[in-house]
Structure 1
Amino acid sequence: MHIIKVIAVVAAALSLSACGSKFRTYNGPEVTRVYVDKSERRMYLIHHDRVLKQYPIQLGFAPAGHKQFEGDGRTPEGHYLIDKRNPNSKFHLSVGISYPNENDIARALAMGRDPGGDIFIHGGPQRGSSANAKSDWTWGCIAVSDREMEHIYAMVRDNTPIYIAP
C-alpha cells in the first residue's frame, strides 16, 4: 500500500512540473513573418496575410529612431531575420534578431562607433528589477511578458523574416 502512495505522489509531482515548463509546443499555421510596429508598441505574428497573434511590447529606453550604435538605447528598424534562440536567457527565453546588417555596420563605422548587437525579443524584466513593465526599459531589444515569450518561442522559427517599423 505504501508503494502505491509513493508512486501516486511521484506521478502527481511529475505532471505538475510539466505544467510549469517554459517550453511550450505549437502545432498551428507556420509564422511566415513577424511585424513590429514601434509607434503602436505592438508585435504581430503573421501567417501569410493573417495575424495569428499580437502582443503589446516594450522597446529600448530611447525608442524613437533607428539604432545607430551600441549603447544608444534604440531598437533597430528595418528588415532582419530571427537568427538564434536562447533557452537560458536572463530574460526567461529569447529569440535573436539579425542586427546589425551590412548597412548598420557601415553607418556605425562611418560615425566611428560600434554598431552593437545582441538584439533579441525576450521576456520581461527580472523579478526585483527596477524596470517598469509598462514603460520602455531595454537596451534596444523588444520585450514581452514571460508567458507571451513562451508562445513566441514555440511559434517563431529561425530564419523567419521580421520587419521593425518606426
Structure 2
Amino acid sequence: MIRFGRLALFPLLLAAAACQPKPQPVAVVPTEIDFLLVDKSDRTLAAYLDGKLIKTYENIGFGDAPAGHKQFEGDERTPEGRYTIDARNPNSAYHLSLRISYPNAEDRAFAESLGRSPGGDIFIHGQPNSLPVGRIPGDWTDGCIAVSNAEIEELWNAVPNGTPIEIRP
C-alpha cells in the first residue's frame, strides 16, 4: 500500500478542484418589491426594493401595437406613465394577473374629450391557461404586459397591492 503525506496530496487536491465546474450564479427570486419599472423599448420589467434593483425580467410581451401610449379601448397599446398595482386576480384566464391602475384621471379626460372610452383591465399576467406549456413569443395581448408563468408567480408573491409601476416607452 502506498502512503502519501498531507503535503503530497495537496497538488492532487488542487488539480481535482480545477477540474470541477465553476458554480453558476443562483437566480435571485424576489421576496418583496416596492417599485416596478417597465421599459417597453428594452422589453424589460425591473423589480426594485428600497431603490436597489432586485431582479430584471426580459423578453416581456405587450399589446399587439406596442409603440405609443394607450389612448382608447381596443387600440392594442400598452399604457405608458405612472400607475400602481391595484388588484390581483387568482382566477385569471392568464395563469395569475396583477392589475395596473390604468386609466388614471388624465387618461380618462383625454379619451373622453374625443368621445372615446380609455379602456381598462390592463394587467401584468402569465400565459393563457389554455396554453399547455411554454410561452407565446412577441406581442400578443390587448395591451397587457405578458411574462412567463414562473415569472408571474414570483411577482404575485413579491408585489403587494399599492406598489407603484412606471411604464416607459
Normalising by structure 2, we get a TM-score of 0.77
Q: How many residues align?
A: 138
- Mapping of residues 67-78 of structure 1, within 5 Å: 67-78=70-81
Pick aligned residue for 2:38 from 31, 36, 39: 36
Deviation at 1:49, TM superposition (A): 2.1
Larger Rg: 2
SS in 1 for 2:82: strand
> 1:61 maps to which residue?
64
SS in 2 for 1:162: strand
Deviation at 1:27, TM superposition (A): 8.0
SS in 2 for 1:105: helix
Give runs of ≥4 in structure 1 deviating > 4 Å: none
Gaps of 5+ in 2: 1-28
Show CA shifts across 1:15-61 (max 9, x none): xxxxxxxxxxx883x31100000001100110122111111210000
Give, as a single letter, the amino acid of the residue that structure 1 aligns with 2:142: W
SS in 2 for 1:76: coil
Question: Cα–Cα, structure 1 residues 110 and 90, in superposed 2: closer, same or farther, change >3 Å?
Answer: same
Give, as a single letter, the amino acid of the residue that structure 1 aligns with 2:64: F
RMSD: 1.7
Gaps of 5+ in 1: 1-25
> 1:114 maps to which residue?
117
